[in-house]
Amino acid sequence: MSKEQRARIDALLRQPRPDGPPQSVQAMRAGFDALMARMIVPDAIRTTRTTLGDRPALHVEPDNDPRDGTILYFHGGGWVFGSPETALSLTGHLVAKTGFRSYSLDYRLAPEHPFPAAAEDALSAYRALLDSGEDPSTIAFVGDSAGGGLAVTTCLAARDAGLAMPAAIVAFSPGLDATRSGETLDTKAGIDPFFTRERLEHTGAMYLAGADPHQPMLSPAVLADLTGFPPMLLQAGTNEVLLDDSTRLAARARAAGVDVILDITADVPHVFQAFAGVLDEADQALDRAALFLTQQIRTSAAPAA
């Protein structure tokens, strides 16, 4: 059954794109919105529009029996498209599975707002949670794709600003290397049904806007010092060109003495977890992510012996 599910999703993601020059930003955003609108969002949640820091956010809560704990979520979309709404299948399932609430941040997007706008918004959101009285040991950073990268770099920025670390990081198929030096960019070419090197470089250039990619905040998988980081869970699929971003960050985390779980699922694409409800591997991966979050937040928030 799972093989058939994976084949259907692969075919969906390989739907032909228009020939000719690259799509406009507006067309890319509309296409991504349409794709993600097909994802299944669980019923047992409530959503409310709010603000966090000085940016809009989507507050996602369980319908009943909420638990202490906050997921600060960063959506994917190559820094150029996406929104808290496009990530609702992910935030919704995590909230339903953990009982924690989530704030999904509507950070500024390129090309209108290139680097470091998104990173500044993410750090501001974390400061806002801390300033509201939330204990950092009850907060986890979670994100997918570009947002997975943001979960990592927000932790870098928080540490460098002298802020307390969150309880945990979970990153789904994170983008962690703006230098595009991972081997899987080439070895997974054609196997990945969604991304090509050219497509990544097109949107990446909008975000960089001339910035040097050789810096930790843009390429943590190859340049960041992860000393002092909280436990991390990195999930990726073998069918994605960004696979090496996760494997290399996991190696850097281990070298820095950080607890890290590298969770690789065979024959699934980029951010396969979004297909919860139609792909068995997606449901299973989100179960593992939810277990990790409940373990880390419970452990971190527990009184010292």
Instruction: Answer whether residue 303 shows pLDDT above 90.
Output: no
Task: Look up 145 and say whether it is catalytic.
Answer: yes
In whole angstroms, give the CA distance from residue 161 to residue 168.
18
* Among 104, 137, 219, 240, the one annotated catalytic: 240
Q: How far apart are CA 54 and CA 76, in angstroms?
A: 20
Q: What are residue 141's DSSP bridge partners?
A: 72, 169
Q: Which residues contact 261 (CB under 8 A, 6 or more apart)?
A: 231, 232, 233, 234, 292
What is the identity of the amino acid at 247? T
For 157, what's the count of Cα atoms within 13 Å in the CB-facing half-sphere?
A: 22
pLDDT tens-digit series, residues 6-54 = 999 999 999 877 666 778 999 999 999 999 999 999 999 999 999 999 9
What per-residue confidence (pLDDT) applies to 187?
97
Give residues with Cβ within 8 angstroms of 176, minimum separation 6: 148, 149, 152, 219, 220, 221, 242, 245, 246, 248, 249
Q: Which residue has the tokens 């436990």?
A: 231
State the catalytic residue, choosing from 145, 173, 219, 300. 145
In the numeric block, the tokens 């299944």 are attached to 40
pLDDT of residue 26: 96
Tell me: the pLDDT tens digits for 174-222? Answer: 999 999 999 999 999 999 999 999 999 999 999 999 999 999 999 999 9
Q: What is the pLDDT of residue 19?
A: 64
119-141 per-position pLDDT tens digit: 999 999 999 999 999 999 999 99
pLDDT given for residue 305 in this prediction:
38
Query: Concatenated DSSP letters for 172-218?
Result: ES----TT---THHHHTTTT-SS--HHHHHHHHHHHHTT--S-STTT
- Which residue from 153, 33, 144 is spatially nearest to 92, judged by alpha carbons? 144
1 — pLDDT class (breaks 50, 70, 90): low
Percent of the chain topping pLDDT 70: 96
Residue 2 is a catalytic residue: no
Tokens of 190: 């054609």
Q: What is the pLDDT of residues 225-260, one digit of tens each?
A: 999 999 999 999 999 999 999 999 999 999 999 999
214 is catalytic: no
In angstroms, the CA 105 to CA 135 distance is 19
| 260-277 residue pLDDT tens | 999 999 999 999 999 999
20: left (phi over 0), alpha (psi -120 to 50) or beta: left
State residue 5's pLDDT score. 95
Catalytic residue among 83, 246, 270, 281: 270
**What average pLDDT does this structure show over 61-78?**
95
